[in-house]
Amino acid sequence: MTAFKPTYIKAFKTSKRGGTGKSLIALVLGEKKLTLYDLEIYYYMEDKNNLHKDIIHGYEIKKSILFENNRGFALAENHDAVSPFVTWQFTEDESGKRDYYWGHYKSDGEAAGRDYETRATEYKQDYGLSEKTTPEVYKYYSTQRPVDIGTFPKTQGGPNRFVNFDKREAVEHGRFMAWGYLEYSAPLTNKQVSDYELRPAPGNPDRRRMEEQAQVIGKWEQAHRVPEERRLTWWYPDFGVFVAKEFVTPEQLAERHGKIIEAKERAADKRAVPKPIAEQLAEAGKQVERGTEASTSREYER
């Protein structure tokens, strides 16, 4: 896996029409600011020991939390391993490289998820630490070709970084194949994703909202016995959660989620509608009468 960063010190001029790329100049960080918008001129190829790489010993990092002391925990999975799930503690150095250690290996995804939450929560409480805030990252996989000039949209949100794998490989629980991925600080539009044949990572901030909505929708679809062909979600047994079907859009989920919430609110409003004053007074009178009768009965028994 080769990671490309705009601040790396080697740059190579590329000429797609002319064939081979020519080494142009070695740029020292600080002398010139480079961004991925410069890809029309420069092509960065310096590998910094797989900085921020997402696959560790064959395990793909699915979730991580970093605290203000630059230590944290990660949840990863590798379905080809004997123990397909693991939680690690890690230390992040000044360059952002992470050293993973103290792995807890699990055969069950739900158990691994609980272990991740427990380790992170206990560490946070024991040391009185806060989570280190980082900018939101939106990851998009290049499914049809390696990341190269003209294969991705340029927006105000990036890309800020991209990674090309050594070969096309399975990602995201083996759901699909990809040649690499790009990272943005803001989400792409559906048209941009479609035009460049990209695929958003399920862990993107907007996709996390979809995951939350999928839980509500999935439970509703199950309770109402919605036919499979009309469902927007399916049950993912490995992690014990509902997941949006492959071709369901954020707009479709948001629409159904909104309708379900509206229906619940209407039902709650009906239950909470106060009775007319006359009816309330009549009920109060009946309660007083019942109380008086009960009191008279007790007096008579004495």
**pLDDT value of position 100:** 94
∠ CA 75-132-91 to the nearest 5 degrees?
Answer: 55
C-alpha to C-alpha distance for 92 and 99, rounded to whole angstroms: 6
**pLDDT value of position 12:** 35
* Cβ-contact 121, 73 below 8 angstroms: no
**pLDDT value of position 41:** 29
C-alpha to C-alpha distance for 98 and 202, rounded to whole angstroms: 22
Model confidence pLDDT, tens digit, residues 156-167: 889 988 999 999
* Cβ-contact 144, 195 below 8 angstroms: no
**pLDDT value of position 271:** 67
**pLDDT value of position 152:** 96
C-alpha to C-alpha distance for 119 and 132, rounded to whole angstroms: 16
**pLDDT value of position 32:** 39
Look at residue 194 and give its three-state secondary structure: helix
Helices (H), the chain: 109-127, 190-195, 205-223, 250-272, 277-301
**pLDDT value of position 298:** 52
- Below-70 pLDDT ranges, the chain: 1-53, 134, 269, 271-277, 280-281, 284-285, 288, 290-302
**pLDDT value of position 19:** 35
CA distances from 200 to 3, 112, 188 (A): 19, 24, 9
